A and B are shown apart, each in its own frame.
Chain A
């Protein structure tokens, strides 16, 4: 071997060997999963963009106790257990409540907070002043909850169909809805006590108030991966230490979260976990047993959700087609001054996500009225969620349809328009009777394709609290016993509903092919 190569390889090996022990000594970071969109006081960003919140400080403390560096991993709240199981992070620390089913799936630590649920109403709402008012209302009250949260399960277990649950992604989104009196979405909201304390009881939302006593007590726990017993025991020890030394009390006081219920932590932390939880449930009778619904029990809701999906698709697509056709005709045959604005319309709607457009229409448009201090404008722009969904889908898809029809119009030979004009038809009649019908036939395949795509895109409407098929899936995927059957059923329903449309498209193509049999 060349002497120089020998020297180089020897040096590389020496460097590698000298670094290996050092690397082994460095403990891996403690990757903790959470969702900052859940908001204060759990995990949120301050004015400077720094991550703050009682769980952030608690994660720092735990990592310090374990001699590891804390690393925050962001994920959507209800997907955190799944990403934990995939190994994306080591623990989940984000207001997850204990339940035996959850413990079986992702073993839990001893509790670090005793939570309760608080009923939040508008300050001047005389109709709901207690939990019992919720159950007795006719028509049923709409109650906003965080999707997949303890409050959602608690209300389902306690009130069943006597309330209409409206899941949202963030706490503040729902607080805004209740404060603004958007009863078509939610009359009241039920949130975990920390959020109620931080936002409402602290006066950050002057238009809202917390009513009645806390209910639905439970325990926030940290989720770990199955088999990661050593880490879980280390975390348990660190939590016990935080309770014993008063560190946890100090932290909760800082965020205004300390209350008498937290005294239980001292007892709970020293008992065998999770056996003591069952014992406490029996003794205190406070924690509502979570009754996991059966698949057969939600078949009716699946049917309703499927109907909603169909309704949204069939209501919005014809609008998209009409607007799209008008835009395309304007761009191809319209006056020059119209062409630039129409091109901008198409590019803006085509170039921005449907999700964002729905969000703007539903949440931000009414704010224009607030900014302009014009109540009539606010009322005008406060579309109900169905109108917002239909308009949003129609506008978004109108851009794609406009491009389809523009291509179709340009594909019709110019001589067709001239032949129609030479007969004495007006340009409008020539377009309507001669050019557009031909363009329509040309674009049937892409338009049908778009309809099927829109049909599936109705799923995005779950973000504005419409319970269609995907929304229903999100609602019930918190129950591990249901998730597989539900996913299969929802997928199958989409397929069963969209396949006939593919067949219809093929039939239409055959039926309308220019020159084909009549």
Chain B
């Protein structure tokens, strides 16, 4: 479970998040939508501890809390090991193979034995449909394949929540479809109990997979509720279509 309470984040005099709050339950798929520049990506980065925020709180699970201001290193490590992140530009490690990329979290962050990490990684690569590409370097993969490896890499640390920051916006429609299929499968998987937050402009996908929708405008969440209501006539997300 993720609970974000009144996050305030400024760059100099520019206020990017102005008391943003939202809550995503275990196994829930939440879509974070809104106009460009509204602070969606920044909010995700605050949840993952990649951005420091001035006020508010991020809570992951019953115990882990990240408050505004500079955080303790240990808190940040714990948080990041529980909250996976998939970036718009994939950010695969180019000097590693697909398998090594997926193994990197278990080995270097969780300090699992290599054999165990490899077993996890191979299973996840199979899951995203890239079992045969384990030995390929990122440059030998298409954009869609790279993003699927990135999803496998985020899943490899077994997070309680996973954040997708516009995972298909750098891809053409065919590759976007490949990636969305993986996300759809995760959303449909009853066994997969991590909370998922996805920032996207692909509203069709939101309607298809999201349980809840959060609309962020000018640094504040102006709507949180079921996706069906958000897109209904007169709903908070209706004017975004």
Q: Which residues of A line the B interface, CB within 8 A?
A: 413, 415-416, 418-426, 429, 433-434, 437-438, 441, 512, 514-516, 518
Shortest CB distance A217–B (Å)? 70
Shortest CB distance A422–B (Å)? 4
B91–A433 CB distance below 8 A: no
B109–A423 CB distance below 8 A: yes
A424–B75 alpha-carbon span in the complex (Å): 11
> Beta-carbon contacts of B55-97 to A below 8 Å, as 1s and 0s?
0000000000000000001000100110111010101111101
A442–B104 alpha-carbon span in the complex (Å): 21
| Max chain B Cβ within 10 angstroms of own Cβ: one of A413, A416, A419, A422 | A422
Q: Which of B133-141, B173-181, B225-233 contacts A (4 or more CB under 8 A)?
A: B133-141
User: Which of B89, B110, B137 interacts with A424 by CB under 8 Å?
Assistant: B110
Q: Which residues on the A side are within 8 Å of B91 (C-beta)?
A: 413, 415-416, 418-419
Q: Is B148 an interface residue (CB 8 A)?
A: no
A285–B49 alpha-carbon span in the complex (Å): 90
Shortest CB distance A244–B (Å)? 84
Q: Which residues on the B side are within 8 Å of A437 (C-beta)?
A: 95
A429–B109 CB distance below 8 A: yes
Q: Is B192 an interface residue (CB 8 A)?
A: no
| Max chain B Cβ within 10 angstroms of own Cβ: one of A424, A437, A438 | A424
| Max chain A Cβ within 10 angstroms of own Cβ: one of B50, B83, B93, B137 | B93
Shortest CB distance B84–A (Å)? 7
B135–A423 CB distance below 8 A: no
Q: Which residues on the B side are within 8 Å of A425 (C-beta)?
A: 104-105, 108-109
B80–A424 CB distance below 8 A: yes
Q: Which residues of B line the A interface, CB within 8 A?
A: 48-50, 73, 77, 80-81, 83-85, 87, 89, 91-95, 97, 104-105, 108-110, 135, 137-140, 153-154, 157
Q: Which residues on the A side are within 8 Å of B73 (C-beta)?
A: 426
A445–B80 alpha-carbon span in the complex (Å): 36
Known contacts A429-B109, A433-B104, A514-B139; A424 and B93 CB within 8 A of each other: no
| Max chain B Cβ within 10 angstroms of own Cβ: one of A419, A429, A441 | A419
Chain A residue at minimum C-beta to C-beta distance from B85: A422
Shortest CB distance B33–A (Å)? 22
Q: Which residues on the A side are within 8 Å of B137 (C-beta)?
A: 514-516, 518
Q: Which residues on the B side are within 8 Å of A416 (C-beta)?
A: 91, 93
B89–A415 CB distance below 8 A: yes
Q: Which residues on the B side are within 8 Å of A514 (C-beta)?
A: 94-95, 137, 139
Q: Which residues on the A side are within 8 Å of B89 (C-beta)?
A: 415
User: Which of A415, A423, A433, A441 interacts with B80 by CB under 8 Å?
Assistant: A423
Shortest CB distance A434–B (Å)? 5
Known contacts A425-B108, A426-B77, A518-B135; A441 and B157 CB within 8 A of each other: no
A441–B95 CB distance below 8 A: yes
B95–A424 CB distance below 8 A: no
Q: Which residues on the A side are within 8 Å of B153 (C-beta)?
A: 423
Chain B residue at minimum C-beta to C-beta distance from A512: B95
A420–B104 CB distance below 8 A: yes
A438–B95 CB distance below 8 A: yes
Q: Which residues on the B side are within 8 Å of A441 (C-beta)?
A: 95
A441–B135 alpha-carbon span in the complex (Å): 20
Q: Which residues on the B side are within 8 Å of A518 (C-beta)?
A: 97, 135, 137
User: Which of B84, B138, B140 interacts with A422 by CB under 8 Å?
Assistant: B84
Q: Which residues on the A side are within 8 Å of B77 (C-beta)?
A: 424, 426
A421–B108 CB distance below 8 A: no
Q: Which residues on the A side are within 8 Å of B135 (C-beta)?
A: 518
Chain B residue at minimum C-beta to C-beta distance from A415: B91
A434–B93 CB distance below 8 A: yes
Shortest CB distance B161–A (Å)? 12
30 pairs, A vs B, C-beta closer than 8 Å: A413-B91, A415-B89, A415-B91, A418-B87, A419-B93, A420-B104, A420-B108, A422-B80, A422-B85, A423-B104, A423-B108, A423-B153, A423-B157, A424-B77, A424-B105, A424-B109, A424-B157, A425-B104, A425-B108, A425-B109, A426-B77, A429-B109, A438-B93, A438-B95, A514-B95, A514-B139, A515-B94, A515-B138, A515-B140, A518-B135
User: Which of B50, B97, B104, B110 interacts with A418 by CB under 8 Å?
Assistant: B50
Chain A residue at minimum C-beta to C-beta distance from B101: A419
Q: Which residues on the A side are within 8 Å of B93 (C-beta)?
A: 416, 419-420, 434, 438
Shortest CB distance B134–A (Å)? 12
Shortest CB distance B41–A (Å)? 12
A297–B33 alpha-carbon span in the complex (Å): 84
Q: Which residues on the A side are within 8 Å of B154 (C-beta)?
A: 422-423
A512–B92 alpha-carbon span in the complex (Å): 17
Q: Which residues on the A side are within 8 Å of B108 (C-beta)?
A: 420, 423, 425, 429, 433
A516–B140 alpha-carbon span in the complex (Å): 9
A441–B154 alpha-carbon span in the complex (Å): 25
Shortest CB distance A517–B (Å)? 9
Shortest CB distance B167–A (Å)? 13
Q: Which residues on the A side are within 8 Å of B87 (C-beta)?
A: 415, 418-419, 422
Q: Which residues on the A side are within 8 Å of B80 (C-beta)?
A: 421-424
Chain A residue at minimum C-beta to C-beta distance from B163: A422
Q: Which residues on the A side are within 8 Å of B94 (C-beta)?
A: 438, 514-515
Q: Which residues on the A side are within 8 Å of B138 (C-beta)?
A: 515
A515–B137 alpha-carbon span in the complex (Å): 6
A426–B135 alpha-carbon span in the complex (Å): 26
A512–B96 alpha-carbon span in the complex (Å): 11
A422–B159 alpha-carbon span in the complex (Å): 11
Q: Which residues on the B side are within 8 Å of A424 (C-beta)?
A: 77, 80-81, 105, 109-110, 157
B50–A422 CB distance below 8 A: yes
Chain B residue at minimum C-beta to C-beta distance from A429: B108
A422–B139 CB distance below 8 A: no
A437–B108 alpha-carbon span in the complex (Å): 14
